[in-house]
Amino acid sequence: MSTSLDSLDTPAAVIDLARMQRNIDRMQQRMNALGVRFRPHVKTSKCTPVVRAQLDAGAQGITVSTLKEAEYFFAEGITDIVYAVGMAAHRLPQALALRRRGCDLKVLTDSVASAQAIAAFGRANGEVFDVLIEVDTDGHRSGIRPDDATLLDVGHALHDGGMRLAGVLTHAGSSYELDTPEALAALAEQERAGCVGAAERLRAAGLPCPVVSIGSTPTALSAAHLDGVTEVRAGVYVLFDLVMHNVGVCTTDDIALSVLTTVIGHQVDKGWAIVDAGWMAMSRDRGTQKQHRDYGYGQVCTQDGTVLPGYVLSQANQEHGIVSCESAPALDIVERFPLGTRLRILPNHACATGAQFPEYRALSGDNQLTTWERFHGW
Amino acid sequence: MSTSLDSLDTPAAVIDLARMQRNIDRMQQRMNALGVRFRPHVKTSKCTPVVRAQLDAGAQGITVSTLKEAEYFFAEGITDIVYAVGMAAHRLPQALALRRRGCDLKVLTDSVASAQAIAAFGRANGEVFDVLIEVDTDGHRSGIRPDDATLLDVGHALHDGGMRLAGVLTHAGSSYELDTPEALAALAEQERAGCVGAAERLRAAGLPCPVVSIGSTPTALSAAHLDGVTEVRAGVYVLFDLVMHNVGVCTTDDIALSVLTTVIGHQVDKGWAIVDAGWMAMSRDRGTQKQHRDYGYGQVCTQDGTVLPGYVLSQANQEHGIVSCESAPALDIVERFPLGTRLRILPNHACATGAQFPEYRALSGDNQLTTWERFHGW
């Protein structure tokens, strides 16, 4: 399908393919240099062509955040899948069905009770689940601390319970709160050392631990070395966004996702242009609010992608956005952005903004557009 | 389809039908008593059975925020539709096609340039569009101030340009920022008086202005009288949410939407229960953050809907939420919310949370569940 941005209705979620491919290559080359497998997290895109591009570049397997993602990408022919959210007992039949259909699905636990539930269900159904133990290396969410006695208890509950203890997995999600190379490198090392240490404790206790899986986009791009790590996971790097820009791991020129919008009105006295990208398009994500640079609901660019410094989507209602100049009311707003002007807005958070759309519009270097479906729900 | 909440996978968006019907009846009875037509805004639910219940209770026509909503509900047999977002010129062919198929679609403008574009397109295509002029009665977004000379210019551009000047429309969206009955009643009167005044100015200039359309949920529920108004629009009242609770126009017992979630882990030392409703389920809406009572990402209830005072969804990642007690770490978190416990979370903003789901699960008083599709995108 060949057309141009002018032909699209707005709002539309546009992926700049050259930027996306550059982001994919950068991460894959870095992982190759560090000597680890790379397993992208597909929750960012939920879109087959994006994931295919990641695999084509050398990624091995995928990470998912829901079993719907697992079902969807397994139907697309991808079998090596880590479900990186703690396994709820009521979802075990669905996980079992996926495995019986040939999906090499690995599941996650961080408690003895959950490990016992997985093992009991596995034994009752004659299935040996591959199970990773979630390790907490930065205190931000789930997982067992590397030095917590529970780690070995969970390991034994799985291994002695007849399951395959596949390894350990951690996610240093607090990296999103940092913004200096030194702090990022330090957290990356903390993530690595904590997860490797957990693996070593399990092995010292006579338990198997083949996989040591770590990752977040900021730490993956900041680690000095990954000794002892076998695989890295990251998601948002494929598109990047303003939060990642503020963290310091990309420039605005790396951000591959933008929302195409149309100017539908003005408030001249206030210096506002009203556009048809509200929070339904951008999402309610205000991730840059607590960072050193607050972009409101997004950075305004021309339709060709040129950043307009100082112009942000300062407010958003459901289907209305307000474009304004941060420094002073733009008294030339009507002349600058006449009715019908098309703008592109760089989002705070690519995962959240993408989820607002049923499809991406993939824009190639020669200005051709292709529609890429993405899926929604659970 | 008959089943119970126990059978649902999580997260799921549950509508309490008894509450929804009570909310619908309350608004309709109030509008009947005030002597105005009621035209619900369907952007909240994007769901046919919800809109049918509103129409069955006495609503006349609907309000939409996108032409996709107009297309969808017209296909469902609803013809009287106000598109309450400023008409972009590139969408005029779609509006024309809807009208030619029999949809009584009314469109909106707030500038001479836009009015001229609508009139020129209408004349070129032999179509007399019904056009409302958007009036700004509270400075929060779009529209022409009632006393602005532009009002008459736009009226003439439409009327003299051969279009049908259908009336004036305003939305006092700043009502969401208030939280006392006195302030709400004052803004409701400001909204009414401003919009009626704009209509009178148009009529005094010899222009037609049959419709005077106002509304937001808080002002609709706070107006002392609606003299001169012909119709009221409101959206979120049908489900309500924590933002509306903080504004003071509903109780938590009126909130008809909740997200069903499962406890998938704990961090005992922190008093956290980890649930499978993250921001992908709740949305990133933090509308209560700047209100007098901040509920984080939502108020925690038991599966049967009983509010658990002090327990909120304090943090959210994409598919993880953190339930905690606001006053002090809940050291009994594992005993209180064991693995597999099902909770229901009342959302900050029903429009945003609903949009995260492909369907609602409608729960009747006798504990029967029905799946109601809702639509997504533009």
Of the candidates B238, B266, B288, which is a domain's last residue? B238
Residue B127 CA to residue B252 CA, distance in Å, equals 47
Mean pLDDT of B5-26: 97
Residue B4 lies in a domain: no
Section A329-352 average pLDDT: 97
The partner residue sitting opposite A357, judged by closest CB among B319, B351, B377, is B377
How confident is the model over B15-33, as a mean pLDDT? 98
In a domain, B21, yes or no: no
Same domain, B166 and B297: no
Name the percent of chain A lying above pLDDT 90: 98
Confidence (pLDDT) at B141: 93
Query: Same domain for A92 and A222?
Result: yes
State whether A43 and B319 contact (CB < 8 Å).
yes
**A224, A262: one domain:** no
Inspect the interface and report whether the beta carbons of A85 and B264 lie closer than 8 Å.
Answer: yes
- Give yes or no: residues A79 and A188 share one domain: yes
Cβ contacts of B359 on chain A, cutoff 8 Å: 377
Q: Indicate whether A26 belongs to any domain.
A: no
Q: Decide if A9 is inside a domain.
A: no
Contacts of B141 in chain A (CB under 8 A): 267, 274, 317, 320, 322
- The answer to whether residues A290 and A150 belong to one domain is no
Q: Are strands B231-232 and B37-38 parallel, antiparallel or unpaired?
A: parallel
Instruction: Say yes or no for a CB contact (<8 Å) between A376 and B358.
Output: yes
Mind listing the pLDDT tens digit for each residue in A135-167?
Answer: 999 999 999 999 999 999 999 999 999 999 999
Same domain, B93 and B219: yes
B10 touches chain A (CB under 8 A): yes
Interface mutation target, options A43, A317, A322, A375, chain B, most CBs of B under 10 Å: A317
Instruction: Provide the H-helix boundaries in chain B.
Output: 17-34, 48-56, 67-75, 92-100, 112-124, 150-159, 181-204, 217-220, 242-247, 279-282, 333-336, 350-354
Chosen for mutation from B85, B315, B324, B372 (greatest number of chain A CBs closer than 10 Å) is B85
Average pLDDT over residues B269-287: 98
CB nearest to B88's CB, from A264, A285, A352: A264
Alpha-carbon distances, residue B370 vs B1, B10, B343, B366 (angstroms):
6, 15, 19, 12
Number of domains in chain B: 2
Size of interface A-B (CB pairs under 8 A): 137
- Which chain B residue shows the shortest CA-CA distance from A271? B141
Domain end, chosen from B178, B206, B238, is at: B238
Instruction: Name the pLDDT band for A2 (thresholds 50, 70, 90).
Output: very low
Six token digits for residue A267 = 């408030």
CB distance from B17 to chain A under 8 Å?
A: no
Given A178, A207, A237, which residue is the final one in a domain? A237
pLDDT exceeds cutoff 50 at B48: yes
Asked if the structure places residue A140 within a domain, the reply is yes
pLDDT of residue A197: 98
- The pLDDT of residue B2 is 38
Same domain assignment for residues A191 and A279: no
Query: N- to C-terminal Cα distance for chain A?
Result: 30
Tell me: do B274 and B168 sit in the same domain. no
Establish if B127 touches chain A: CB-CB under 8 angstroms: no
Residue B81 shares a structural domain with residue B214: yes
Q: What is the mean pLDDT of residues B228-255?
A: 98
pLDDT per residue as tens digits for the range B66-109: 999 999 999 999 999 999 999 999 999 999 999 999 999 999 99
CATH number of the domain residue A126 falls in: 3.20.20.10
pLDDT-derived band of residue B171, with 50, 70 and 90 as boundaries? Answer: very high
Which of B86, B276, B285 is the closest to A265 by Cβ?
B86
Whether B93 and chain A come into contact, CB under 8 Å, resolves to no
pLDDT of residue B52: 98
Task: State pLDDT tens for residues B215-239.
Answer: 999 999 999 999 999 999 999 999 9
**What pLDDT is attached to residue B1?**
38
Give the closest-approach CA distance of A106 to chain B in angstroms.
Answer: 16
Q: Which residues of B touch A276 (CB under 8 A)?
A: 85, 88
Mean pLDDT of the region A290-318:
97
- Partner B contacted by A355 (CB < 8 A): yes
Q: Which of A4, A9, A147 is the mutation pick for testing B, counting most B CBs within 10 A?
A: A9
Flag whether residue B336 sits within 8 Å of chain A, measured between CB atoms: no
Instruction: Give phi and psi for A65, each to the nearest 5.
Output: -110, -5
List, in order, residues 6 or more apart from A232 with CB less than 8 Å away: A31, A34, A36, A37, A38, A39, A213, A214, A215, A220, A226
Q: Which residues pair with A167 in a beta bridge?
A: A132, A211
Confidence category of residue A4, pLDDT binned at 50, 70, 90 = confident
Put simply, the answer to whether B85 touches A264 (Cβ < 8 Å) is yes
Q: Are strands B272-275 and B321-325 parallel, antiparallel or unpaired?
A: antiparallel
Is B319 domain-assigned?
Answer: yes
Residues of B in contact with A89 (CB under 8 A): 339-340
Domain of residue B170: give its range: 35-238
Q: Do A318 and B351 touch (CB under 8 A)?
A: yes
Question: Does any domain span residue A215?
Answer: yes
CATH assignment of the domain containing B312: 2.40.37.20
B142 at A interface, C-beta within 8 A: yes
User: How far is residue A360's CA from residue A78's CA, in Å, rounded to a whole number?
Assistant: 21
Q: Note whether A74 and A187 are same-domain residues.
A: yes
* B356–A320 C-beta distance less than 8 A: no
Residue-level pLDDT at A139: 95
What is the sign, positive or negative, of the torsion defined by CA atoms of B286, B287, B293, B299?
negative
Contacts with B352 from chain A: Cβ below 8 Å: 279, 284
Q: Spell out which residues of chain B touch residue A279, defining contact as CB-CB under 8 Å.
A: 285, 352
Cβ neighbourhood burial of A358 (10 Å; 0-12, 13-18, 19+): middle
pLDDT in tens, B172-214: 999 999 999 999 999 999 999 999 999 999 999 999 999 999 9
Mean pLDDT score of chain A, rounded to an integer?
97
Do the domain assignments include residue B69? Answer: yes
Is residue A247 scored above 60 in pLDDT? yes
Model pLDDT for residues A34-57, shown as the tens digit of each residue: 999 999 999 999 999 999 999 999
Chain A residues touching residue B266 (CB < 8 angstroms) = 111
The predicted-structure confidence for A194-235, as pLDDT tens digits, reads as follows 999 999 999 999 999 999 999 999 999 999 999 999 999 999
**A80 bridge partner residues:** A104
- B216 touching A (Cβ < 8 Å): no
pLDDT of residue B4: 86
Nearest to A251 by CA among A307, A205, A202: A307
Cα A251 → chain centroid = 17
Which residue of A12, A262, A339 is in closest CB contact with B113? A339
B357 neighbourhood in chain A, CB within 8 Å: 377
A71 Cβ under 8 Å from any chain B Cβ: no
Q: Are A196 and A229 in contact (CB under 8 A)?
A: yes
Asked, as a colleague might, if the bond just before A11 is cis with ω within 30 of 0, I would say: yes
Residues B211 and B298 in one domain: no
pLDDT at B149 over 60: yes
- What are the helix (H) ranges across A5-127? 17-34, 48-56, 67-75, 92-100, 112-124
Mean pLDDT of B25-41: 98
User: Residues of B numbered 253-312 whose beta carbons fall under 8 angstroms of chain A's beta carbons: which are they?
Assistant: 262, 264-267, 274, 276, 279-281, 283-286
* Measured distance CA(B308)–CA(B254) in Å, rounded: 16
Residues A214 and A313 in one domain: no
Q: What is the structure's pLDDT at A41?
A: 98
On chain B, the residues whose CB falls within 8 A of the CB of A352 are 279, 284
Checking phi first, is residue B142 left (phi over 0); if not, alpha (psi -120 to 50) or beta?
A: beta
